[in-house]
Structure 1
Amino acid sequence: MKLLCALLVFVASASAVKNYGGYQVLRVVPQDMEQLQRLHDLYNLLEDTVDFWKEPTRLNQPVDIMIGPNLVKDVKLELSRRDLDFSIYVEDVQTNINNERCTDCVNAKAGFNYNIYHTADEISQWVTDMATDYSIVTEINIGKSHEGRDIKAIKISSGGSKRVIYIQGGIHAREWISPATMMYMANQLVSNYNTDAEVKAMVDNYDWYIVPSLNVDGYSYTWTNDRMWRKNRQPNDGSRCVGTDLNRNYPYQWGGTGASPSKCSDTYYGSAPLSGKEVSVVDTWLQQFSGNIALFIDFHNYGQLWLYPWGYTGNAATPQPDKAVQQTIALEATAALQAVAGTSYFVGMSGPDMYPASGASEDYGYGTLGVKYTYVVELRDEGRYGFNIPERMIEESGKETFAALKVFGTNPLA
């Protein structure tokens, strides 16, 4: 009862501009099925109020729970009452937020600084400037977000008719390292086209379409109101809670395991498939490439994971005829990634090896668009900084991820 009363106080006192001082992240690692079930029960109790950065999924997989200062004591007591050992993984979330920006992150070249985070408006202008500065770049306006912002992509092409590589970032608003890494990699493609034989082959082999920030409204909101916001900013009928989890709103296996019907949940799957404006817009736009997309990657953070379908089910026996080739090239790519800075990635099936999530991008790419090589990638880190990766790590993230992308771009993805 005390915990439920505290939840009501938390909801009533939520402010417009959020400060995360005193917020902690607790980590619990379930050791047996009984502990995992207790964590599932706790998740069902708290999912609309407490932010599960990593949900309970399987044995020995960390569960990370961000808790506000007025709930920390009660949740810790609840965990102890359920005989669940925990550690304080992040002592103060606001400290991480404050420390993600740095004063000495300089760009190697004059002009746009790829070593810092940029606002939604700056990213939009970057797309325009890239098209102006490079003849192999075209600005693409995919459509409008719920709040009327342009959802932009860049096309990188040396001309002719080629198969398509599509990569996107920023579907979850708070995952800032994702758009930053998208822009870093795009810059590597265009600025090194005339000097790097591998890069030239990547652009000559494929037409590249890169969406740095799909969830532009949510991303903008993380700069102005709530750094840890995840969903889009579309109101939900009959609810005070705003937003759909766009990565639970894709039409393939929508509304199943790992997505929530609760409008207040961070994994709310929306009122219908493609009800999220941004997902609907990008789906309509992608249909023009039907049958011609060689590679589809959706970049997130955190966890250091390179995952392929299926995501909607935890059953590894569910038929999926391409998993062997998907795994083989992903292992080659993550080996190239690790060679840059020693960062280790796990490669596996999204649902069976990690956790089921229905209505997600990797199943859409594979099941709806028919792209053989479809992945969801969780970038840095493994939880020390979580969603607040310091700017000083952007360059390494970009370099190592681009090394992985080279493996795909220099191979014939038949």
Structure 2
Amino acid sequence: MKLLCALLVFVASASAVKNYAGYQVLRVVPQDMEQLQRVHDLYNLLEDTVDFWKEPTKVNRPVDIMIGPNLAEDVKIELSRRGLDFSIFVEDVQTNIDNERCTDCVNTKAGFDYTVYHTSDEISQWVTDFANEQPLVTEITIGESYEKRLIKAVKISSGGSKRVIYIQGGIHAREWISPATMMYMANQLATTYDTDPEVKLMVDMYDWYIVPSLNVDGYAYTWSNDRMWRKNRQPNDGSFCVGTDLNRNYPYEWGGTGASPNKCSDTYFGATPLSGPEVFVVHNWLQQFSGNMALFIDFHNYGQLWLYPWGYTGNRNTPQPDKTDQDTLAKAATAALEAQFRTSYFVGMSGPDMYPASGASEDYGYGTLGVKYSYVVELRDEGRYGFNIPESMIENSGIETFEALKVLGTDPLN
């Protein structure tokens, strides 16, 4: 079969934008443990050749596979050969990309538009402008990316010495709804402090540090070259394949299950822990808050999941003394979120309930930084749009996620 002997060929162009016309997303829902194992076997065979948008995790949990037209027939034959039913969940990925942004819309709001997607340069400028315009906001420069872009954060504080809440977005470049939601929530924190008693309590109780876009190089690349790019843009020695999966590059349980040593894989874990410059500089910067951080959240999409450690193992019985408290608080937060637009979220353990991923952020927050309430959140949606959430959904994503943040930010988080 062509599928089994296909060579991975990487062609990069400084000017060409990759076109996803004819790319489909297949959805497989394993019905029992035997089928789940067959999907796992297929994943192990294909993970470096096709893009698994959702990896195999549990019985009755969807597995989403993006395939190009050159491999579509072979993958479908292979699924059928293994007795795995599938549906075509996204007929044409390029159509979703084309419909993601509202090119004919006119911004009738004064100032920065929080309901559209913004480039990496625009986000960077927003941090500066936001800090200049809002008295509670300070611009923070964490460090530089591989391509020497500044990685910026906003600090939102009413003054004094307080415990810290840290949230970040955009560690995976193609997940555009994440930076957009981070900026929306930052704006709500800063601009409703005087009018919303809950927000005042949040800002008076904690110092908030928000990184809208951690993977600034990868994010810029999704605008210029490849909308579906995931990793950073750091070259790999001895390989033509570029990039490290920054969310497999954290030092806690680095290099284990759910992370790949293959430099061409989307889950390549990097040469060493913290070898990704973006993770390295944020790790160094976060050390100043050692013992004083109340909450750590890394926002992704998609799947509508609110997850807590451990992520490095699928073993639910691995000792984790705070999971009951983490679960209770997450369920309270997602209940507030769901009350807005009935967006349903699953709450659970990252590894056992989604899939094991070693060297990931939520384990780093909990295991390395010692933050009791450390979460990874998969924002909208459940797969209809996947990574290409239309701009029309940005505002609702911001509104509902901020309601969850209100629950967390008004809690003592002991």
What is the TM-score when the length of structure 1 is the normalising length? 0.97
Q: Secondary structure at the match of 1:315?
A: coil
The CA deviation at 1:135 is 1.3
> Over residues 284-336 of structure 1, what are the superposed CA-to-partner deviations in whole Å (9 max), with x where a residue is unaligned?
00000000000000000000000000101111111111111111111111010
Q: Secondary structure at the match of 1:164?
A: strand
> Over residues 183-211 of structure 1, what are the superposed CA-to-partner deviations in whole Å (9 max), with x where a residue is unaligned?
00000001111111111111111000000
Q: Secondary structure at the match of 2:165?
A: strand
1:409 matched to 2:409:
yes
Q: Quick one: distance in 2 between partners of 1:110 and 1:405?
A: 26
Q: Quick one: distance in 2 between partners of 1:217 and 1:14?
A: 15
Contact 1:206–1:409 (8 Å) recurs in 2: yes
1:69-84 matches, within 5 Å, as: 69-84=69-84
Residue identity in the other structure for 2:9? V
Q: Quick one: distance in 2 between partners of 1:106 and 1:404?
A: 30
Q: Quick one: distance in 2 between partners of 1:316 and 1:363?
A: 14
Aligned residue in 1 for 2:355: 355
Residue identity in the other structure for 1:334? T
Q: Quick one: distance in 2 between partners of 1:272 and 1:78?
A: 35
| C-alpha RMSD of matched pairs (Å) | 1.3
Q: Quick one: distance in 2 between partners of 1:13 and 1:242?
A: 11
Aligned residue in 1 for 2:52: 52
Contact 2:17–2:226 (8 Å) recurs in 1: yes
Contact 1:186–1:210 (8 Å) recurs in 2: yes
Relative to 1, partners in 2 of residues 1:408 and 1:12: Cα closer, same or farther, differing over 3 Å?
closer
Q: Quick one: distance in 1 between partners of 2:108 and 2:373?
A: 33
Aligned residue in 2 for 1:207: 207
Q: Secondary structure at the match of 2:31?
A: coil
1:223-262 matches, within 5 Å, as: 223-262=223-262
Q: Quick one: distance in 1 between partners of 2:108 and 2:205?
A: 28
Relative to 1, partners in 2 of residues 1:70 and 1:296: Cα closer, same or farther, differing over 3 Å?
same
Contact 2:57–2:353 (8 Å) recurs in 1: no
Contact 2:10–2:240 (8 Å) recurs in 1: no
Q: Quick one: distance in 1 between partners of 2:106 and 2:196?
A: 24
Aligned residue in 2 for 1:310: 310
> Over residues 312-361 of structure 1, what are the superposed CA-to-partner deviations in whole Å (9 max), with x where a residue is unaligned?
11111111111111111111110100111110100011111221111000
Aligned residue in 1 for 2:175: 175
Q: Secondary structure at the match of 2:339?
A: helix
Relative to 1, partners in 2 of residues 1:105 and 1:413: Cα closer, same or farther, differing over 3 Å?
farther
The CA deviation at 1:4 is 3.2
Aligned residue in 2 for 1:186: 186
Aligned residue in 2 for 1:11: 9
Aligned residue in 2 for 1:94: 94
Aligned residue in 1 for 2:266: 266
Q: Secondary structure at the match of 1:42?
A: helix
What is the TM-score when the length of structure 2 is the normalising length? 0.97
Contact 1:106–1:115 (8 Å) recurs in 2: no
Contact 1:170–1:214 (8 Å) recurs in 2: yes
Aligned residue in 2 for 1:64: 64
Aligned residues: 412
Contact 2:10–2:241 (8 Å) recurs in 1: no
Q: Quick one: distance in 2 between partners of 1:130 and 1:60?
A: 44
Q: Quick one: distance in 2 between partners of 1:292 and 1:109?
A: 38
Q: Quick one: distance in 2 between partners of 1:67 and 1:41?
A: 17
Relative to 1, partners in 2 of residues 1:76 and 1:114: Cα closer, same or farther, differing over 3 Å?
same
Residue identity in the other structure for 1:133? E
Q: Indicate the larger mover: 346-355 or 179-188.
A: 346-355
Q: Quick one: distance in 1 between partners of 2:325 and 2:292?
A: 18
Aligned residue in 2 for 1:216: 216
Q: Which runs of 5+ in 2 are unaligned?
A: none
Residue identity in the other structure for 1:71? L
1:381 matched to 2:358:
no
Q: Quick one: distance in 2 between partners of 1:2 and 1:379?
A: 36
1:263-412 matches, within 5 Å, as: 263-412=263-412
> Over residues 94-135 of structure 1, what are the superposed CA-to-partner deviations in whole Å (9 max), with x where a residue is unaligned?
000000101465657300000000000000000000110011
Contact 1:105–1:391 (8 Å) recurs in 2: no
Aligned residue in 2 for 1:155: 155
The CA deviation at 1:32 is 1.9
